[in-house]
Structure 1
Amino acid sequence: MRPSLEPQFAPSAEAPAPLEWIVAPAPVPYEAGLAFMQARADAIAAGRAGECVWLLEHPPLYTAGTSADRAELVDPDRFPIHVAGRGGRYTYHGPGQRVAYVMLDLNRRGRDVRAFVAALEDWLIATLAALGVAGERRDGAVGIFVDEAKIASIGIRVRRWVTFHGVSLNVNPDLDHFSGIVPCGLHGTPVTSLEALGAEAEMTCVDAALRASFAQVFGLGGTA
């Protein structure tokens, strides 16, 4: 198990506007999600908007990160494929998976991307613990695992020191949908979900755990 990276992510010493939490009531098309994130990140960098965490689901699709290897796209005709612009390789998004797009201003927080990624890992681990699941890091891989199976992914982009993209947590998706890719380039690594583990899989309960754990890890509350 890989320990949290140092230095730890620290809340801003300034007093920014309250963090905004948005929960999408229906699956969001990927292009619309990407456009929103890019616009919000630009507005944060320009001082026109506050920081934001956006909780949503997408229709079934695959995304290609900046390190995507075409050989890891096993079934290219199964679902739409989108170039994401985030770090990482191929991943799946779809109903039953909670995606959390995190738009924070690292100009206020030391401009430490490694510490930010470690904080995202800590956030997911704390959320899983609140739901009765022991998640952990794995050497040489980004994301969170339960035993040998991956349950959550991380892929970010930073522009003008504002973050976007974020994390995805498998709540109760169709796990067979992952078989069209080699998820995150991890050959032979199974995927799992809260439902498959017999844990809490009601999305509103998962959202509540995400929000409470976020406040613990990042020191940020926010508005609904």
Structure 2
Amino acid sequence: MQADPISLLPDTIEWRRETAQVPYRAALEEMERRNAAIAEGTARELVWLLEHPPVYTAGTSAAAAELLDPRFEVVEAGRGGRYTYHGPGQRIGYVLLDLRTRARDVRGFVHAIEGWVIDTLGSFGVEAWRAEGRIGIWTRDIDGTEAKIGAIGVRIRRWVTMHGFSVNLSPDLSHFTGIVPCGIDEFGVTSLARLGLAVSAEEWDTALLAQAPAFLAKLDTPCP
């Protein structure tokens, strides 16, 4: 029997995977509590993998004109960035780590998360990349154009991180048309399903956790 990948990861971090949807507001409240507890030294760090019911979230730079059709609940997230969509078929990774014990480098932390997602997509044969001047994870869509397949949004309080990333496995892509995703309207949004790949949440989590040691190692080195 193949070992659970969580058993191979450091036990100083709680690695939590949800199989049921978690309402966004409940997750946000849990993150707020956990962030404070980590900062106080009363809780372990947390990597939390989950899925939300449909919701639009507003980052600190969200512009009202970019909320085109608020057909779902809109929640102020407190993270950096603009509007984004979360919903079924999208895997979320909330990363709550104490950077006081690692390189105190915000840019390096974001760069490491991007690399973690890019490497995991690569394990499914999907080439993905960062794009200069554009937040998120990008790939080649079925029509040959660049399209976003993952979003990044973080907040750091007392050097403890919150929020993290989302990756489109098989969401309803029409739900993204209610906003200008991350303020970028000249590029589309894609998913693994649109690219012809059927990847379950469990398969994604397993591949992501296999890449976790490399992700953590990057946090010990400041971004150049």
TM-score by length of 2: 0.88
Instruction: State which drifts further: 18-27 or 93-102.
Output: 18-27
Cα deviation, 1:104-152, whole Å, max 9, x if unaligned, reads 0001112110000000110011000011100001110111000210000
Note closer, same or farther for the CA distance 1:200–1:215 as it changes in structure 2 (3 Å cut).
Answer: farther
Gaps of 5+ in 1: 1-15
Is 1:39 aligned with 2:33? yes
Match of 1:3 in 2: none
Structure 2 CA distance, aligned partners of 1:212 and 1:54?
Answer: 15
SS across alignment from 1:145: strand
Q: Distance in 2 between matches of 1:94 and 1:200?
A: 17
Q: 2:184 aligns with which of 176, 183, 186?
A: 186
1:160 lines up with 2:153 in the alignment: no
Which of 1 and 2 has higher RCO (CA within 8 Å, sep 6+)? 1
- Which residue of the partner structure matches residue 211 of structure 2? 213
Structure 1 residue identity aligned to 2:90: Q
Among candidates 52, 61, 66, match of residue 55 of structure 2 = 61
**Which position in structure 2 is the counterpart of 1:81?**
74
Cross-structure match for 1:25: 19
1:122 aligns with 2:115: yes
In structure 2, stretches of 5+ residues that fail to align are: 1-9, 141-145, 219-224
CA RMSD of aligned residues (A): 1.3
Shift of 1:17: 5.5
SS at match of 1:82: strand
Alignment map for 1:92-111 (pairs within 5 Å)? 92-111=85-104
Conserved 8 A contact 1:63-1:83: yes
Q: How many residues align?
A: 204
The runs of at least 4 aligned residues of structure 1 exceeding 6 Å deviation read: none
Find 2:44's aligned residue among 40, 47, 50. Answer: 50
Counterpart CA distance in 2 for 1:200 and 1:46 is 41
Residue 25 of structure 1: CA displacement? 2.2
Cα deviation, residue 176, structure 1: 0.5
Distance 1:61 1:219 in 2: 33
Shift of 1:218: 1.3
Where does residue 146 of structure 1 map in the other structure? 139
Letter in 1 for 2:184: L
Superposed displacement of residue 54, structure 1: 0.4
Contact 1:132 1:199 (8 Å CA) reproduced: no
Between the aligned partners of 1:216 and 1:138, the Cα distance in structure 2 is 22
Structure-1 separation of matches of 2:88 and 2:138: 20
Percent identity over the alignment? 56
Amino acid at match of 1:72: E
Letter in 2 for 1:110: A
| Counterpart-to-counterpart distance in 2, 1:192 and 1:60 | 17
Distance 1:19 1:200 in 2: 29
User: Equivalent of 1:112, from 105, 117, 121?
Assistant: 105
Q: TM-score, normalised by structure 1?
A: 0.88
